[in-house]
Each structure stands twice: as C-alpha cells, then as structure tokens.
Structure 1
Amino acid sequence: MRYVTPGTRLCFASEYEAGPGTYEREEYIYSSVVGIVQEFIPTVSTNTGEEKKQSKIITVSKEKHQSSIPDVGNIITGKVIRMTTREAVVSIMVVGNIPCKDDYQGIIRSQDVRATEKDKVKIIESYRLGDIVKAEVISLGDARSYYLSTAKNEYGVIYAQSVAGAMMVPISWQNMQCTKTKAVELRKCAKPEDLFSKNQ
C-alpha cells in the first residue's frame, strides 16, 4: 500500500492513463490528492463475448482515516531544522497524535508566525534550530512540503533548549527562560497554560 500527497510524481504517462485523483503534466502523471495509489486494467466485452483488456489506469483514492500524512487543517508537531531570514523549515514528526512514517517538511514563513504586526516579525526572534513547535497546516506546497502557521495563540514553540543546553520554560507569549541560568530568550511561544491561568 502506497500513500502519496498532492504533487507526487507517480509514473510515466506512456505507461498508464491518468485516473481519478491524478493529473498528467508533460510526460508524467502526478497525484492531485492525499491518498492511496491504485492500479488496474479495465476490460470490455466484445461482440463475441470475449473480454478485451484496455490500457492500465492509475488512480489515487482519498484515505480519510490515514491521518499520519499531513493535510490542510491538521495540527502537527515538528522540529526546526533550517532557518533563513524569511522562514523556518520544520521536519514534521507527528500529525495529530499519530507519528509520521515518512519524511515531510513544513515551512513557517515570517507572515505566518503570528497574527499581529506581521511586518515586524523576525524569524531568529521566533524560533531557533532544534526547537519543537506545534503548528497548523494551512496549505500544500511542493511534493512532501507544506506551509505551516503558528499565528494562533495555541501554536508556537512547545519545547526548547537554551544556549546553555538546559530546558526552557515560557514566561510570556514572546519569551522563554532557561531553567539553569535564568537567561531569557525570544521565542514565539505556544500558549503558556500555567502563566495564562495565573493571570486570570
């Protein structure tokens, strides 16, 4: 059983006909949905009652219960593995509560970090390499890549280590503190439940 995401190249167009859930571009057939790849050879009955095989058809059927493949609207947990001045690249580890079996990456663009003052966002002040983040899949990118958002209060960094290598805890929406040195570092924190409840 083979699961694919939109934009995944499936085969040469000369080998199959594009069925439901796929599309043909240039000399290849690609998946247009998240789902399972299926292949079959249709047959038709001739005037003599014999069955005649047609060209092979490849399809991708949606799999509603397979949530370990990211899709728009899913909540993911992942690790920041690369950063630029404009975006952070996240290796998606978990979709919902189900671990990912394959390697999927998400991109958090500067405009998707938070809901307010988007033009003032700096990636380096929001995430650091190695941070574990919780985010929402907002759109599909290229094959095996997704655009993510941490704009909502409940999304952002959920685990981080300080420069000293110790665990950090959120002390505000934009700051985390090292449990060892008490130094404060900037982050776009996921909703800090303990702090929030104290301020009620």
Structure 2
Amino acid sequence: MGMVEREEEEEEMVTPGEVLGKATELKAGRGAYVAPHNKTVYASLTGRRSLIPPPSDSSDQRPTVEVTGHKAHGAVPVPGSTVIVRVTRVMAKMASADIICVGTKAVKEKFSGIIRQQDVRATEIDKVDMHASFRPGDIVRALVLSLGDARAYYLSTAQNELGVVSAESAAGATMVPISWTEMQCPLSGQIEQRKVAKVGGQ
C-alpha cells in the first residue's frame, strides 16, 4: 500500500469514471469504455493512461486509449455485470451500498453503488418504499446499470432474481425469504419487508 508513485507517473494516473476523451477521437481499449449516450470514453479502473497509435494501414485512424492497472486488480464493475453489494445507508429515494463481488470475483478496491427508487423493481415503481426494500447490512444481488456520478455505480434490482439475498433480523439471525416482499426471522418469527431476490424454486 504505502508505495510512493514517481512524480512523472502521477499526472497520467486516472481513476474509474474519469473522462479520457471523446469516442470520435479515441477508441476504448483495456481499462476503458465508451458511454453511448454522450460518446465519451471513460476509465473503468485505476491506473496509468496510455495511447496506442492505430496501425498505419487501418481505415480507423483513432488511437486506442488503455488504462493499465498499477497493481494486480480484483474485479471491476462494468455496466451489465451482476454484483453482490452490502447496503450501507437507506434513504427515502435511494440506498447506498458497497460492492463486494462482481459476478463470483471479490473486488479489491472500494466501489460504491446507489440503488435509486426507480430501479428497485420493475412494477409499481412509484410505490416503492426504500425502507421496506432494504436495510443497512443487507447483502443484495444487483445489476450495474451505469457509472453514476460521484464515483458511485447506479445499480438495479428490478429483475426477479435480483434483490436481497441475505439479511440479518433484529434478533441477529439470518432471515429466510417467505415471499417476494417478506423475510422472516427464524428465531423470533418476526416478518420484515424486503425486496427479495428469487432463489431456485421460490
């Protein structure tokens, strides 16, 4: 951890979500991706930015921008990937969470995610109660929609198989899902509201 980067490298270090350029001028290589809505190339990991010139015989004369991780990186969330997150805060219109796995791979860096009210479920979106969907500490399976603002990924749980996969009750026990919207504490029998992820055969 405590390695000091040499000064000349500092200026080309980029972090996830940093703008690398316009897609009209650059192609996205490893560690970069293009956001279709604004044709902008962003970095998808922390590392050094480098430009690779196009082959001289290529019809596409845009250079390719790559971001190379400066250390071995764990998985990085990208739009479309399924992630496992731990809910940290629940507010009226959104819940924030820390991403702990991308697919089956653990992340090594801190990635934050936000589940907005409109992304909790597919139906009756306007009736979603965030506090009846998630609680801090819940383990949630979610889909990465996009790299949102403030370095947080926008997440969705609006498919049946997405949502809370593990939650602890007030009594400290792991709760059991009993419906799409409820989980029950095996110790106290108390039922709590959640946006539950579908498990096999549920």
Fold agreement, TM-score > 0.5 = yes
Contact 1:80–1:91 (8 Å) recurs in 2? yes
The letter for the 1-side match of 2:124 is E
- Identity, in percent, stands at 42
User: Any idea what the Cα deviations from partners look like across 1:122-159, whole Å, max 9, x if unmatched?
Assistant: 10000001000000001111253100000000000000
Matching of residue 85 in structure 1 with residue 87 in structure 2: no
**Structure 2 residue aligned with 1:102, among 109, 112, 129?**
109
Distance (whole Å) between structure 1 residues aligned to residue 97 and residue 67 of structure 2: 27
Query: What secondary structure, in the 3-state scheme, does the structure 1 residue paired with 2:101 have?
Result: strand
Matching of residue 6 in structure 1 with residue 17 in structure 2: yes
**Structure 1 residue aligned with 2:185, among 163, 178, 183?**
178
Distance (whole Å) between structure 1 residues aligned to residue 157 and residue 99 of structure 2: 14
Which residue does 2:124 correspond to in 1?
117
Structure 1 residue 164 displacement after superposition: 1.1
Which residue does 1:60 correspond to in 2?
66
Answer with 1 or 2: which has the greater Rg. 1
Structure 1 residue 83 displacement after superposition: 1.5
Which residue does 1:187 correspond to in 2?
194
Alignment of 1:11-30 (within 5 A): none
In 2 relative to 1, CA 87–5 (structure 1 residues): closer, same or farther, beyond 3 Å? same
> Which moved further from structure 2: 96-105 or 134-143?
134-143
Contact 1:20–1:61 (8 Å) recurs in 2? no
Query: Can you give the 5+ residue segments of structure 2 that lack an aligned partner in the other structure?
Result: 1-12, 33-39, 54-63
Which residue does 1:129 correspond to in 2?
136
TM-score scaled by structure 2? 0.70
User: Any idea what the Cα deviations from partners look like across 1:20-56, whole Å, max 9, x if unmatched?
Assistant: 658xxxxxxx97132552447x9xxxxxxxxxxxxxx
The letter for the 2-side match of 1:60 is E
The letter for the 2-side match of 1:33 is A
Query: What secondary structure, in the 3-state scheme, does the structure 1 residue paired with 2:43 have?
Result: coil
Q: CA RMSD in A?
A: 3.1
Structure with the largest fraction of strand = 1
Matching of residue 147 in structure 1 with residue 157 in structure 2: no
Which residue does 1:34 correspond to in 2?
44
Structure 1 residue 5 displacement after superposition: 2.0
Distance (whole Å) between structure 1 residues aligned to residue 139 and residue 169 of structure 2: 13
Contact 1:139–1:147 (8 Å) recurs in 2? yes
The letter for the 2-side match of 1:76 is V
Structure 1 residue 165 displacement after superposition: 1.1
Structure 1 residue 184 displacement after superposition: 0.5
